Structures are given as structure tokens and as C-alpha cells.
Amino acid sequence: DIVMTQSPDSLAVSLGERATINCKSSQSVLDSSNKRNHLVWYQQKPGQPPKLLIYWASTRESGVPDRFSGSGSGTDFALTISSLQAEDVAVYYCQQYFRAPLTFGGGTKVEIK
């Protein structure tokens, strides 16, 4: 199975400041046939199901604010919130969809400093 490791476990950032979450896969999730990384980011707020933010590692889902961006390739990825807003307080998860089982990272909790 592909193991997804997120860091840090939690992050406290001041309003308006940048937050960066890292995700590392135990093997590459880059598909050589389509040159795309099979990596997705979700946001989960308390009492709610996860919400899709970014897929193909860097494609923002429709309606997601542009302060959210994804980057990386192969085994190392990042989710960046360029200017943290109060409504961004949540747990963020990465997941690979390169090979079953489609494993999640352990999550990163983002809070306001």
C-alpha cells in the first residue's frame, strides 16, 4: 500500500498569513501515461464530511477560493493557503488515487494563532 505522510500534525497561523501543509507519499503517484499526479486535497470542518479542494495535485475544484493552491510532483506535495481566513480553520487531508487502496494522509489541523 502507498503510505501518505502529512506534516505538521497541527499548524497555528495568524489571520492573513500563509499556511503550508506537506504531504509525502511512500512511492511516486505520477502517472507516466498522462503526466499527472494522482493526489487530492480535502478540507474537513467539525461535524461535516470532507470537502474537495484540489485534484491532480494542483487543479482547484470549482468554487474553491484561489487562496488555496496545490503544488508538487512525484512523492512530495504541498497545500498552501496564501492568506489564512477564519473560515479556513479545519483539518486538511491529502489522498492518493494512483493505486488501490486509495490511502489518506493522517491530517493536519489548521488553527488561528
Partner 1 sequence: EVLVVESGGGLVQPGGSLRLSCEASGFTFGSCWMTWVRQTPGKGLEWVANIKADGSITNYVGSVRGRFTISRDNAKNSVYLQMNSLRVEDTAVYYCARSGRRDGYDGWLDRWGQGTLVTVSS
CB of 18 to partner 1, least distance (A): 24
Q: Using CB under 8 A, which of 21, 23, 30, 42 touches partner 1?
A: 42
Q: Cis link prior to 8 (omega < 30° from 0)? A: yes
Which distant-in-sequence residues (6+ apart) come within 8 Å of 92 by Cβ?
6, 21, 41, 42, 43, 44, 53, 79, 107, 108, 110
Is residue 70 within the footprint of partner 1 (CB under 8 A)? no
User: By the criterion CB under 8 A, which residues form the site for partner 1?
Assistant: 1, 38, 40, 42, 44, 49-52, 55, 61, 93, 95, 97, 100-107
